[in-house]
Chain A
Amino acid sequence: MAFAAFSEALSLVFSWPTPLWVVIGLTLGMIAGALPGIGSSLGMAIILPLTLPLGPINAIILLVSMYSGAMYGGSISAILVNVPGTGGAAATTFDGYPMAKQGRAIDALSMSATASAVGGFLSVITLLLISPILIEAVLLFGSPEYFLMAILGLSMITIVADGSMVKGLVAGAAGLLITTIGIAPNSPELRYTYGSLGLYDGIDFIAALIGMFAIAEMLKLAGQEGGIADGDIDLTGSTLSGVKETLSHPGTIIKSGYIGMFIGAIPGAGATVSNFLAYGESMRSSDDPGSFGNGNPLGVISSEASNNGTIGGSLIPTISFGIPGSGSTAVLLGGLLMHGLRPGPQLFETDLHITYAFLIALLIGNIFIILIGVLVVTRLAKLTLIDTHIIIPMILVLSMVGGYTLRSNWVDVITVLLLGFFGYIMVRKDYSIIAFVLGVVLGPIAEENLMRSLQISGGSYDIFVTKPLSLLITAAIILILVGPYVKPALEKRLA
């Protein structure tokens, strides 16, 4: 079955116009990534409504290509103006910017493109290779396990995210709570609708994503001053030497790519964490750690290989259990659901060809990253000079128009606005936006599986601890939630 699906996926990806969507997605992603304050999640969120007329395959390929492109794009402003376009490129600034100051901006950008492409390629090819095992694992999961996995994902995010765990839990539960508006799953009960037809179908999660990512971010950006760059960096250096230098460090690329993949598979961690860990590991294992921070190419290579490596890892929980590893994969999950694709067994059985198609598209995308990155990077660099007051009104227009487009329903516009304001305060006060968004995306899946599980068990909650697998997940949830508080007390007692 897997081979037939793989062959079908290959023919789908190489049939026109799918390759064009790969290139468009990568280019849009690079643009979004290169603009500090925009990044992959926001860029993907505002593009989501536009994917409505596309078929599910092209839409998902466009979105994953954007995700991949944005990871590389984030390094452009990190290297040229010392401002990372995305959190995943933060560690790139440490050595990328000093390299640019030393007249090696083109070298650094080429290194970033090559390391991103190779790191991303490695992680996706590994994902393809382990997919048969993943398929077997996913098929072991039933309704109780899917409900528990949703709770596990939320719990993981609350401990990984910045700020207090209680704040993370409240954010996640608030996200779940707002999905209860509308008709209840598996029952005709109307909840919190008060006669408003627009609320019968509930809160649209895409509107929530647009509000939380786009509006909240633009409100934050509006309070910051105009230009991002002062344009004092000359684009000098050599593309070829950048590519050569990167390929002369295969060990660093492989190690950093897999660090990215491993961290990406942990819900909530993502590229923001992996690029620092990969950079740290590269520094630790170097013969000359003192040169890091002063333009050591290994700093750029490790950070960039890891952030693109994160993509393959973050897709594991996203497509297997519907638990996104990051904001971008939350939007990707939204795209999957919007196009009628449910994460879990469906993506590994009837829709396996689609899963393979977007993984293959990601592989091809990594080749395009080198081509686009190396050939047009000097033009993309001009993006860093754009004034934020040009970007903000355009993003807000796209958000409002996109929100209304979802269902031609004013409830969605109000959702975009209110959750945008809500998200703005959450960001400022250290509440995890990712936990909230995950709650909104997972809510219907979690409730449906909870209700189905309880129907199977006749209302008994024992169903969540009777099977070894569900017991294991329940134990993991308890460990995650209680562990951080019990561990110090235990250590103290043992000492």
Chain B
Amino acid sequence: MSRKSLYRRLSERFDQERVLLIVLILGSGFALVETFRFDISAAARFPRLTGSVVFVGALLIFFSKYLPEGLRAVVEESAGVFEADEDFEKRQQKAEEQQQAGADTAQTDRNEFSTVGRPIHDSVFTALVITGYAAVGFAIGILWATPLFVVAYGYWFKQPWHLTGVLAVIGFAIAFGFMSVLGVPLDRGEIFLTSGVF
């Protein structure tokens, strides 16, 4: 099986909402259980209250398909306080679509995953590259990781080299500005360059 078809299979099976709900159910369930280990009972009250709402609510959404009709309607339907008339809703929907999609409809150099013809979704790549940015920043310092991140981003999205170079310099300048003005040790890593450069 090729990497592309493996990725396609994985992305087709990956239900983001299910993952979100599982994280919420497990996270709130764990938070609830932990409250029974607190030494001061008053400190357990608020996490227990909020954790219960998250746990029960996320469970209801997760299993909404199996709920009786009345309860399912409560779980799935919008309360709709500001429901506009039909004509307005159409216009609102159109405006929202325009806001999301932008006006540019150029179709060149794109496939089903990426607007620039890459083998994975653009949002997935962006999530991966910023995770990498944080990891490299942790290792060598955010100041030094910043131009690397900008170059990686520009390369992936096929930006012209001169533009990527300018953006890398601007990115470095932003980080350097924060470091100089706010006195934050952005030039220090936790693994390398631990005592900083500037």
Contact = CB atoms under 8 A, between A and B. Distances in A.
Interface stretch (A9-17, A181-189, A310-318): A181-189
B46 A173 contact: no
B101 A188 contact: no
A429 interface: yes
Given A84-B99, A224-B100, A417 B16 contact: no
Nearest to A86: B99
A439 B39 CA distance: 25
A2 interface: no
Contacts of A50: 178, 181-182
A166 B31 contact: no
A335 interface: no
Interface stretch (A157-165, A351-359, A365-373): A157-165
A392 B159 CA distance: 12
A124 interface: no
A31 to B, nearest CB: 15
A408 B61 CA distance: 38
Interface of B: 16-17, 19-20, 23-24, 27-28, 31, 34, 38-40, 42-43, 45-47, 50-51, 53-54, 57-58, 60-61, 74-82, 84-85, 88, 91-92, 95-96, 98-106, 110, 115, 121-123, 125-127, 130-131, 133-134, 137-138, 142, 146, 149-150, 153-154, 157, 159, 163, 167, 170-171, 174-175, 178, 181-182, 184-186, 190
Interface in A402-421: 402, 404-405, 408, 410, 413-414, 417, 420-421
Interface of A: 36, 49-50, 52-53, 81-84, 87, 90-91, 93-94, 158-160, 162-167, 169-170, 173-174, 176-177, 180, 184, 186-189, 191-192, 215, 218-220, 222-230, 269, 273, 276-277, 280, 293, 388-390, 392-394, 396-398, 400-402, 404-405, 408, 410, 413-414, 417, 420-422, 424-426, 428-429, 431, 439, 443, 446-447, 450-451, 454, 484-485
B53 A184 contact: no
B157 A389 contact: yes
A349 B95 CA distance: 43
A32 B38 CA distance: 45
A228 B47 contact: no
A230 B46 contact: no
A77 B78 CA distance: 30
A50 B85 CA distance: 43
A81 B103 contact: yes
Contacts of A428: 16
23 contacts: A50-B181, A90-B95, A164-B76, A166-B76, A170-B54, A191-B38, A192-B34, A219-B123, A219-B126, A222-B123, A223-B123, A224-B100, A225-B105, A227-B106, A273-B82, A393-B153, A393-B154, A394-B170, A396-B149, A397-B175, A400-B134, A410-B190, A450-B46
A273 to B, nearest CB: 5
Given A173-B50, A173-B57, A225-B106, A417 B131 contact: yes
Contact of A223 (B31, B53, B106, B115): B115
A169 B54 CA distance: 8
Contacts of A191: 34, 38, 43, 47
Contacts of A420: 130
B43 A402 contact: no
Interface of B (DSSP majority class): helix
Contacts of A396: 126, 130, 133, 149, 153
Nearest to B53: A173
B47 A180 contact: yes
Contact of A450 (B19, B45, B96): B45
A250 to B, nearest CB: 25
Contacts of A162: 78
Given A224-B115, A396-B126, A397-B146, 12 more contacts: A50-B182, A53-B182, A165-B78, A169-B53, A173-B57, A177-B47, A224-B102, A228-B102, A396-B149, A401-B142, A404-B184, A484-B80
Given A90-B99, A389-B157, A397-B149, A220 B84 contact: no
Given A82-B103, A164-B75, A451-B42, A484 B81 contact: yes
Contact of B16 (A293, A400, A429): A429
A87 B99 contact: yes
Contacts of A401: 142, 146, 174-175, 178, 186
A187 B42 contact: yes
A417 B137 CA distance: 13
